Amino acid sequence: MSNPAPPPRVHLVERALEAMSGHDMGLAIADARPPAGVEIRPPAAIPPPLHGAAVVVTNPPPPVISLEQLRGAGLMVVGQEPRRSRLAEEFALVHQQMLRVMHAAGNTPARNVVMITSAHRGEGRSFVALNLAASIASSSGRTVVLVDADGGPTSLTRALGLYRAPASVATQRPHDALVSTAIARLSVLPRGEDADAQHRQPRGAELVLTLRALIAACPNHVLVLDAPAALASSDAHALASAVGHVIMVVRAEVTPRDAVEAALDVVESCPSLQLLLNRTNLNSSDSMAAHGESGARAHA
């Protein structure tokens, strides 16, 4: 009797398309809860004065990155609106799914590290990284570091006005270079200015060393990396082996399938790969409960 033929290998893109056929989200979502409101850093408590003592009221220093700056860089999931937007609900589902995947990864050093990349530039990597990090920090109780591992002309470092920061990715103590924001538990590690090219390691190796130092210094933090496009730089390949999870951003109805497959091959050393559709077009009937708004820009 001949042995049965092995089952055909199903590519990750095939599995993602099959998963998306049953629901709007490309990531499997279950028992998701909507996020709480934004938590802005409160002023320091002032103790009651002693009898006859003079009271000097001092305000705490403001956060370095304001909410207005974050919004100018693309933040859309945190605000003061009476109703949560559809986009905020969708990122809540994405971040809850990612936290479950991180928990299931066990006690590995990179379990809390997720890298955001794409096949090509212009697919929404920075937008997804910023809003995912803000969603986790504002509603999950986890402390989050948003790492700009790209540093290009349209990077988060530039958008937030941090391009004159020190060469953060070259420091041996990256946790000392973190910049606080108006969202409690969210800080940013900017790309910073490049050091002298004659005294630098290759960018990918340098980023991996910085990432490992940050993981060691902040083992309980969630690290969200805004990484370069996988088919435009070797940095994504170098970082993939040092992170616990990769989210591949795919611009809906624009990114070719073969480009997505090639990009997934670049980051295949990462044990956890997810696809996220960006800029999908949905009808108003697809809105989520009472929070729905048309024109949602990201799906996962």
Q: Tell me the pLDDT of the chain (300 aa) as tens digits.
A: 555 555 554 555 555 555 555 444 444 333 333 344 444 455 455 556 555 555 555 566 667 899 999 999 999 988 655 567 888 889 999 999 999 999 999 889 999 999 999 999 999 999 999 999 999 999 888 999 999 998 777 889 889 988 766 555 556 788 888 999 999 999 999 886 654 444 454 578 888 988 999 999 999 999 999 999 999 989 999 999 999 999 999 988 888 999 999 999 999 999 999 999 887 655 444 444 333 333 334 444
Give the chain's domain count. 1
Query: Does residue 164 lie in a domain region?
Result: yes
Query: Does residue 183 lie in a domain region?
Result: yes
Query: Does residue 226 lie in a domain region?
Result: yes
Q: What is the domain range of residue 257? A: 100-286+296-300
Query: Does residue 2 lie in a domain region?
Result: no
Token pair for 141: 């109780």
What's the confidence (pLDDT) of residue 45? 53
Q: What is the CATH number of the domain that holds 276?
A: 3.40.50.300
Query: Does residue 13 lie in a domain region?
Result: no
Query: Does residue 25 lie in a domain region?
Result: no
Query: Does residue 261 lie in a domain region?
Result: yes
Query: Does residue 131 lie in a domain region?
Result: yes
